[in-house]
Amino acid sequence: MIQFQYIESGGERLAVSIHDPPVSVDHDDAPVVVICHGFIGTRIGVDRLFVQAAERFASAGAGVVRFDYAGCGESSGEYGNNRFDDFIRQTRDVICAVERIPSFERRPLVLLGHSLGGAVATATAALDRRVDRLVLWAPVAYPYQDIVRIATQGRGQVDAETVEHRGYVLPPSFFASLAHANPLKAAEQFSGDVLLVHGTADHDIPVAYADVYREAFGKRLDSRFWSHVIAEADHTFSAISARRQLFDITAAWLSQRPERGGENKMREVKSQAKQAVFHKTNI
């Protein structure tokens, strides 16, 4: 079942879709997954990426929450008026709303961020102890550099100009806020488990960022980091085979419960996805 509601955040109304797992599915230990979309994205996702993901995860027992950041999709506001810290605040306000859903009480919370949403999810997880685990799909590592390159179609400089990109007006203050964002530093402050999935054919965000994030999360005293690279997958995992692998890998990882204490190792993933081979760093 899918429910829709608006929540208030910083004077704006954020559109939120909530997926409850089927009543026939055992979901007592299943997590609640909050999906953070990327730059000028929506809670639908390109080619319904996030809708399909939510349906897949909910069918396995997870609760899933999709939402539009201010100025995107059905949320109020102008996207260019956001600052990076506003994205973090909006994400945390959504988490507060999730806590008020009776069926989601006392369930582990997972943030799933795609692209710029991956950077936002990482920064949020570093600040908010309610976040238990983190999933990153093709995450931005250098927000200013990456988003300026995308918004200017490779020119790579914005200086004092306002940029118009796909119908969005992005003032200098928007980009200035990205210049102060450092998700790689934030990664060092998050103590939970992390899964990262990227594609080799991603022309928007380099697949090499998987190694950059691995190094950042590896600086933690007790680092648990899994990564998987999907051959020929693009930035939005648009090919049917790539998307199937993405969902299989993520669903299999979400189904595992971290073994706290001792070496904090995850139980082996016996494959709901035969292709889900995890590369783990445990330092």
Going from N- to C-terminal start, the domains of the chain cover: 1-253
- Bridge partners of 17? 4, 66
Please choose, from the candidates 106, 86, 117, the residue with its C-alpha nearest in 3D space to the C-alpha of residue 29. Answer: 106
Arithmetic mean of pLDDT, 232-244? 98
Q: And the tokens for 131?
A: 């976040």
* Residue 158's pLDDT band (cuts 50, 70, 90): confident
pLDDT at 260 over 70: no
273 pLDDT more than 90: no
pLDDT at 98 over 70: yes
What are the backbone angles phi and psi of residue 120, rounded to the nearest 5°? -65, -45
Q: What pLDDT is stored for residue 278 in this prediction?
A: 43
pLDDT at residue 128 tops 70: yes
3-state secondary structure of 58: helix
Taking each helix axis as running N to C, give the angle between helix 84-99 and helix 172-179, from 0 to 180 degrees, rounded to the nearest 10. 80
Residues 200, 208: Cα–Cα separation, whole Å: 9
The answer, yes or no, to whether residue 271 has pLDDT greater than 90, is: no
| Top-confidence residue, 283 or 143 | 143
pLDDT in tens, 6-53: 999 999 999 999 999 887 666 668 999 999 999 999 999 999 999 999
Give residue 155's pLDDT. 73
User: Which pair of structure tokens corresponds to residue 259?
Assistant: 């073994």
User: Which positions ≥6 away from 209 have C-beta within 8 Å?
Assistant: 138, 139, 140, 141, 198
CB atoms within 10 A of CB 12: 20
Pairwise CA distance, residues 180 & 16, whole Å: 28
- What value does the mean pLDDT of the chain take? 90
Phi, psi of 204 (to 5 degrees): -95, -50
Q: Which amino acid is at 118?
A: G
At 186-228, the pLDDT tens digits run 999 999 999 999 999 999 999 999 999 999 999 998 769 999 9
On whether the CB atoms of residues 230 and 275 are closer than 8 A, the answer is no
Q: Confidence band (pLDDT; 50, 70, 90) for 179? A: very high
Q: pLDDT tier at 1 (50, 70, 90 boundaries)?
A: confident
DSSP run (H or E) holding 224: strand 224-230
- Residue 133 dihedral angles phi and psi, to the nearest 5°: -140, 165
Query: What is the pLDDT averaged over residues 257-277?
Result: 39
Please enumerate in sequence order all residues whose Cβ is within 8 A of that of 92, keeping only pairs 6 or more positions apart, or say none: 124, 127, 128
pLDDT for the residue 258 = 63
1-253 classified as CATH 3.40.50.1820 = yes
